[in-house]
Structure 1
Amino acid sequence: MPRFAANLTMMYTEVPFLDRFAAAAQDGFTAVEYLFPYDHPPADISARLRGNGLTQALFNLPPGNWDAGERGMACHPGREAEFADSVDRALAYAVATGCKRLHAMAGLEPTDASAAAMHATYVDNLREAARRLQPLGITLLIEPINARDMPGYFLSRQQQAHDVLAEVAAPNLQVQMDFYHCQITEGDLSKRLQQHFSGVGHIQIAGVPDRNEPDGGEVNYPHLLDLLDQLGYDGFVGCEYRPRAGTSEGLGWLHRYHASKKVSA
């Protein structure tokens, strides 16, 4: 059965960030993820994980100036040194928390660079970052993101991401497949998952179209979660959604899924 990770950037926002670890554990989660930990010292994050028996499933490399609209810089020619520094900063947190998956955001397409230059920069940055992470047993992830939520993002389609994997040719580079983004951009989720499964290193879920609980809308999540089991997926499923009205109150979908597995077993 899939192992679920609460996304503490979107979930449990009823309480301050460092208190969300305990809230997630109280609701039965055994793992967490989030966008960025950098507002808090690595030791503080690590203490919250240990104190609540949680695994750190994933977080992102620093994205540049997020508040100013930046969404990573891995595809930005001329910012290679800044990207390398972002790997260093993330590593301090990964080592402290035992996290084995780091997501490198590609960035919005800069207006002063050609498509070829962006692609070449992206590939080179990913190859170097993966090389640095491999001795520590850390997997680097890239994620296609839909153009409705993030217009102008460099990486938007599953095939594009897997073509990059093939070009970089690093054993510890994989794709973070978010069914929410994939459904909005491409659809055909089951077949895309089956086609690309060998290169998928992390899964994320949310309801479509509104990014709420995965309990309705366009996507049949019980089917997809069962398909992950059939395919032998042993990673985490990140719950990267915005609760409609209280995080704990909205976890009925998770309780129902767990109950259905116990009955079928």
Structure 2
Amino acid sequence: MPKFAANISMMFNEVPFLDRFAAARAAGFEAVEFLFPYEHPAAEIARRLEDNGLQNVLFNAPPGDWNNGERGTASLPDRRAEFRESIKHALEYSVALKCPRLHVMAGLVPAGVPRDTLLATYAANLDFAAEECAKAGVKPVIEPINHRDILGFFLNTTTEATRIIDAIGPERLGLQFDLYHCQITEGDVTRKAQELLPYIAHMQVADTPGRNEPGTGEVNWPFVFDAIDASGYRGWIGCEYRPKGETLAGLGWFAKYRAG
């Protein structure tokens, strides 16, 4: 049976962030993920996790200036020192929250910088992240993001991602496989999920084209979830979608997977 984690940066927005832990647990989730925890003390988030019997399975390293459009710094040659500090800061939270996965965002392609330069920077930074994360018992992951949601993002396809993971070492760096992004960029998500299984450390879902809950778009999710389960994947699947209406009203798809 697939295991689903609520992404409480996108779900349960009816209540403030720190109250979403209880809301997710009441809805039947046993795990949560989120984008960025850094506005709140790690100890406070850890308390919310413990009080609600939840696991934190993923969050993102600091992405640079998110509010001004930055989407990561890992591939940016002039931000190496900042990137290293961001990984160390993220790992303080990873340890406090007992979170085993850390998403490292590549960033937007800057004008006039050769792709080879960006790729070399990306590889060096990911190697550093892998070393630091290993010391804390955390696995860093990278995610191909579609060209529509984040125009100009450095990493777009699973083919690019697996080449980088092979260079760093699959035991040191994993793939965050978001079926929503894959459906837009590459399609054939069921076969992709099966083929990429040796690389996948975490999955995420949202329906296309609207990035809403499963059952609101074009994907046959019961078929996809059954295929993922049959493949032997036993990790978490993050629900990184924007509810079309109220979060609870859109959880009909989740009923058969809900924790007792």
| Shift of residue 172, structure 1, vs aligned partner | 2.5
SS at match of 2:32: strand
Name the aligned partner's letter for residue 4 of structure 1: F
8 Å contact kept, 2:76–2:121 = yes
Q: Distance in 1 between matches of 2:172 and 2:238?
A: 19
SS at match of 1:79: helix
Q: How does 1:21-170 map to 2 (within 5 A)?
A: 21-169=21-169
Q: Distance in 2 between matches of 1:197 and 1:170?
A: 11
SS at match of 1:176: strand
Q: Distance in 1 between matches of 2:214 and 2:162?
A: 25
| Shift of residue 213, structure 1, vs aligned partner | 0.8
Q: Distance in 2 between matches of 1:143 and 1:184?
A: 14
Q: Distance in 2 between matches of 1:243 and 1:61?
A: 24
* 1:174-224 Cα deviation digits (max 9, x unpaired): 110000000011101112112211001100001100011111422111112
Q: Which runs of 5 or more residues in structure 1 are unaligned?
A: none
Question: Percent identity at matched positions?
Answer: 50
8 Å contact kept, 2:144–2:161 = yes
SS at match of 2:73: coil
8 Å contact kept, 2:5–2:239 = yes
**1:242 matches 2:229:** no
| Shift of residue 170, structure 1, vs aligned partner | 5.2
Of residues 106-115 and 51-60 in structure 1, the stretch that sits farther from structure 2 once superposed is 106-115
8 Å contact kept, 2:142–2:161 = yes
- Tell me how many residue pairs correspond in the alignment: 259
Q: Distance in 2 between matches of 1:75 and 1:99?
A: 24
SS at match of 1:198: coil
SS at match of 1:241: coil
8 Å contact kept, 2:73–2:107 = yes
1:258 matched to which residue of 2?
Answer: 257
Q: Distance in 1 between matches of 2:193 and 2:19?
A: 34
Q: Distance in 1 between matches of 2:241 and 2:148?
A: 16
| Shift of residue 113, structure 1, vs aligned partner | 1.5
8 Å contact kept, 2:170–2:199 = no
Name the aligned partner's letter for residue 83 of structure 2: F
8 Å contact kept, 1:30–1:53 = yes
Q: Distance in 1 between matches of 2:63 and 2:133?
A: 18
Name the aligned partner's letter for residue 77 of structure 2: P
Q: CA RMSD in A?
A: 1.2
Q: Distance in 2 between matches of 1:147 and 1:12?
A: 27
Moved over 4 A (4+): none
Of residues 194-203 and 98-107 in structure 1, the stretch that sits farther from structure 2 once superposed is 194-203
- What TM-score comes out, normalization by structure 2 length? 0.97
Q: Distance in 1 between matches of 2:12 and 2:217?
A: 22
| Shift of residue 116, structure 1, vs aligned partner | 0.4
**1:173 matches 2:173:** yes
Name the aligned partner's letter for residue 128 of structure 2: E
Q: Which runs of 5 or more residues in structure 2 are unaligned?
A: none
8 Å contact kept, 1:130–1:170 = no
**Residue 170 to residue 203, structure 1, CA distance change in 2 (3 Å):** closer
Q: Distance in 1 between matches of 2:190 and 2:254?
A: 20
SS at match of 1:191: helix
Q: Distance in 2 between matches of 1:98 and 1:146?
A: 30
8 Å contact kept, 1:138–1:172 = no
8 Å contact kept, 1:102–1:138 = yes
Q: Distance in 2 between matches of 1:123 and 1:163?
A: 11
Q: Distance in 1 between matches of 2:216 and 2:43?
A: 38
Q: Distance in 1 between matches of 2:172 and 2:7?
A: 23
SS at match of 2:243: coil
Q: Distance in 1 between matches of 2:63 and 2:257?
A: 35
